[in-house]
Amino acid sequence: MTAKESKESSMNNLFAELHKQGQNAEYERALKTANRILGLSQDNEAALHCKVVSFIQLSKFNDALQLINKFPKLLPNLEFEKAYCLYRLNKVADALKIIESIQNLSLKVKELKAQVLYRLERYEECFAVYRDIIKNSNDEYEDERETNLAAVLVHLAYEDSQVDVPSLREHTYELTYNAACQLIATITNGDKSNLAKAEKKLRTAEKMCRESLEEEGMTEEEVEDELGIIRVQLGYCLQMQSKEKEAQALYTAALKKRPDDIALVAVASNNIATLNKDQNVFDSKKRMKNATQEGLEYKLTSRQRKSIGYNQCLLALYTNQGEQCQSFCKKFIQDYPDMMIETVTVQAVQLAKEGKAKEAVKLLDEQAKGEHYLPLKLACVQLLLSNEEREDAIKILENLKEKEKSLPGIVSTLVTLHMANNDRIKASAVLKNAVNYYKKNKENTGSLGKLWRQAADFHLRGGEVAVAAASLEELLVASPSDTKTLAQLIIAYAEFDPAKAHSLSKRLPSLHNLAESTDIDALESSNWVIGTKVIKKKVEASPGKPDIMEKKRKRKKRKGKLPKNYDPSVPLDPERWLPKHERTGYRKKRDRRNRDVAMKGTQGAATGASDQFDITKMSASKPSPNPRQSPAAEPAGPRQQQRKVHQKKKKKGGKW
């Protein structure tokens, strides 16, 4: 056998061995066999291809990518493998470029494209690809594709997309779980009616998951690990229904299992921190550390990362970490410019807590643009008023645009602030300007009855009758049948335009109609003139019935209370309800402190010497012969706990 024949024979044997190893999923051995083939033939395309596949199966994506890039001419048809390696190395945009360069997309390339679009959060395009795959395929992977499509529909529900959503089956726990998530996604639009349905589906999915995995022979640890994501989602559903204790129990139980999925740990930790709010901040700091660990940028969606980042800013605010709060907020604004207003508000609150109200106002004022113009201006006013900067607050309100400055709430605030400064002229001017604005701009003004009424009352009290009449005119136009407003307007016109008052008085109802509808007897018997404290209401008895006021009220006699352990055979003590010191048998206790008892001498003293020590027989003028006698006791002061110092008595030479 020649050398060439020997080489061909070796190659054939090695390829047969490589094929067998591939069939048995022995990729480490296949990699060695491919290297042996490449040792015999360095440019063998089949061996290179098998080596790339072995690297991918062993999750050595960098090695596979380097090999593809090393032999671009020999491996021209490995676009799918190259795109897959880039996808697994989180270079998703580069993977999409390679996929889009392929002319005729095979089924596996379409599925990879759908996964890439999902990671790029281009959900409508992803939905279109999956719908095409499901329509044009029929194999054993139908359930997996349907599950992925259901996951895409959840994100479309969060985005409030208008795509035509198909109805999917719920015969697996994954599809049931995704159906529940789709119901939860509707709460972003303010509709919370589906939360109870979502809770029911999640509990069903939990039961189905356990039964399915136990049938497959999985261990209890593997079952619990798979159930973790369902339970955390159930906790979120309960939290949104204000069942916070149940939600926290589910989050804590899921974290105690120490799951390997860092995304699950991050979501559960973040949700516990939101339940803590401004309480238990040390626990929240520990949870937030788990929610912001490295590697999560590829595991969480942008919506989840945004929520965690904003909660991190709020936690720094609650823990009074000023510098850290400001740095977190600046980074968060760079990553999510659409959250500019919310983040700037957090920064302003932090500055205000540190006593830097004017800096906070300046920060808010810089962002007061577009649709956020009025809310941020009002936030500035609130900060200034909380720091008693009334004049600066008035300036901000007066410098608002004419439309915003004429809103009833703003007008009311300005009038109140001017009146607090005892400046009635400016308060009156604010009301006049508001009235004039709405006279010129009558479209989209809404119900302004309260504004006209308050303006009229204010100007009537201030003697500005003509201005009050203008407000009453607008009020009368809004409600022509209001006789009270008409009467007020006539009184106002009577002060400066009697002719107009006379013409308006013709619109008042006639006295004849008023007299017919008025009960004179009820007016005379009523107490509205004199007052309720002066006149008593007279109640007339109806014919055939006695007068209610004259009828005596009969009170039922209540049985007296008997003492405990009452014995009917023993007569009751008539003095049982009297205090003890008022009873006849009471004997006052003797006061031992003031008893008049002769002071006796020491034991064994002579009988004749007892008079010497009898305090009752001592002379008041004679000084005490005992030099150790203590002085009279002073009145007791407040009790204090003092340390007692014990001093030893000195002995006088001899024994006692």
The residue extents of the domains of the chain are: 3-142
Q: Are 493 and 501 in contact (CB under 8 A)?
A: yes
pLDDT (tens digit per residue) in 594-639: 554 444 444 444 445 445 444 444 444 444 444 333 333 333 334 3
- pLDDT reported for residue 636: 35
pLDDT tens-digit map of 433-469: 877 777 777 655 445 556 666 666 666 666 667 666 7
SS3 90: coil
Q: Phi and psi of 583, rounded to 5°?
A: -80, 155
- Over its C-alpha atoms, the chain yields an Rg (Å, rounded) of 47
Q: Are 288 and 317 in contact (CB under 8 A)?
A: no
Which pLDDT score is estimated for 530? Answer: 47
Q: List Cβ neighbours of 489 (8 Å cut-off, separation of 6 or more).
A: 469, 472, 473, 476, 504
CB atoms within 10 A of CB 287: 26
For 580, how many CA atoms within 13 A lie in the half-sphere containing its CB? Answer: 4
Burial class (CB in 10 A: 0-12, 13-18, 19+), 31: buried
- Topology of domain 3-142 in CATH is 1.25.40
The C-alpha atoms of residue 19 and residue 16 are separated, in whole angstroms, by 5
Give residue 158's pLDDT. 87
Reported as a single tens digit per residue, the pLDDT across 148-160 is 999 999 999 888 8
In this structure, is the dihedral angle defined by the CA atoms of residues 575, 579, 584 and 586, taken in order, positive or negative? positive
**3-class secondary-structure state, position 579:** coil
pTM beyond 0.95, yes or no: no
Distance CA 395, CA 387 (A): 15
Q: What is the pLDDT of residues 106-137, one digit of tens each?
A: 999 999 999 999 999 999 999 999 999 998 88
- Cβ pair 240, 273 in contact under 8 A: no
- In this prediction, the residues of the chain whose per-residue pLDDT falls under 50 are 445-446, 529-542, 548-550, 596-607, 609-610, 612-656
What pLDDT, on a 0 to 100 scale, did the predictor assign at position 74? 74
